[in-house]
Amino acid sequence: MAVISNLNFITGNKNKLAEVRAILGNVVVVESQAIDVPEIQGTIEEIAKEKSRRAAEVVGGPVLTEDTALEFRALKGLPGPYIKDFLGALGLEGLNKMLDSFEDKTAEAVCTFAFCRGPGEAPMLFQGRTEGKIVRARGPSTFGWDPIFEYNGKTYAEMAKEEKNQVSHRSKALAKLQCWLAEGQI
């Protein structure tokens, strides 16, 4: 099995790219390519696998893709993998309003990385989850829904990057990927 020293991370999001490089940088060189890959409807895992498969076909080689979900317990997992569309349509305040009539404000942030060796290969998934709750926006609005997701008394937006990288759903998924890479699985 060929060892890969560089990962082609398919993203156009500079904040995600910075987090991935900060966490994986000591194991592998993370390069980036923005490819418009259509997203299917489905579960978090189905969406992640299909996105990775399609990206590998476009690139013609190994790729790493990432999908993020935000599951509101009161809404039985919604908005889930469709959080980007919900955030775009409703904004932070609208996401809060979705939960106004519910006592339960708990949520789970989910990050799923999918690694695909190339066209025709089955993607491998690495998933991380962080339990928190949805609160009124606090902190800078520079990275998606970070201002409304609170973990241990602080929103992601209120945390320093290093602090967030220790507790986030993305860091947990990347830790699993990092272990797999360190074992020389690719």
Q: Is the dihedral of CA 46, 47, 53, 56 positive or negative?
A: negative
Alpha helical stretches, state H, the chain: 14-24, 44-59, 83-98, 161-167, 169-182
Angle at 141 between CA 139 and CA 145, to 5 degrees: 95
**Residue 137 CA to its chain's centroid (Å):** 20
Q: Give the residue numbers of the binding site for ITP.
A: 11-16, 51, 67-68, 143-146, 164, 169-170
* CB burial of residue 176 (10 Å; 0-12, 13-18, 19+): middle
Distance CA 160, CA 19 (A): 12
Q: Is 13 helix (H, G, I), strand (E, B) or coil?
A: coil
For residue 14, the number of C-alpha atoms closer than 13 Å in the C-beta half-sphere is 1
Q: Give the residue numbers of the binding site.
A: 11-16, 39, 51, 67-68, 143-146, 164, 169-170
Q: Give the residue numbers of the binding site for Mg(2+).
A: 39, 67
